[in-house]
């Protein structure tokens, strides 16, 4: 499991990734919804932004799980269940 990234503890980095990516993905989803409600024909750009939003949401979910695991390891060490 991740303990350090380039010598820096992984937990703070992962937590900050989550704090940035989840609101960013939510904002993009709202912007796409507003564009669709406004019936502006954006075409392929809307698909690209939607895809990037979905990818950032998946990365945020993965970072959330990794932040929890790295935080548990930082506090309790290598505990096996």
**What pLDDT, on a 0 to 100 scale, did the predictor assign at position 24?**
82
Q: Whose CA is closest to 51, among 28, 35, 34, 33?
A: 28
pLDDT score at 27: 84
pTM exceeding 0.85: no
pLDDT of residue 37: 67
pLDDT exceeds 80 at position 16: yes
Position 51 scores a pLDDT of: 78
Please, is 65 exposed, middle or buried when counting C-beta atoms within 10 Å of its C-beta (0-12, 13-18, 19+)?
exposed
Sketch the domain layout of the chain as residue ranges.
Answer: 11-73
């Amino acid at each position: 499991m991740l303990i350090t990234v380039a010598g820096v503890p992984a937990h703070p980095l992962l937590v900050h990734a989550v704090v940035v990516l989840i609101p960013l993905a939510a904002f993009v989803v709202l912007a796409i919804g507003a564009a669709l409600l406004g019936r502006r024909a954006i075409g392929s750009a809307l698909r690209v932004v939607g895809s990037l939003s979905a990818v950032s949401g998946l990365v945020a979910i993965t970072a959330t799980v990794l932040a929890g695991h790295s935080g548990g390891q930082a506090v309790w060490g290598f505990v096996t269940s």
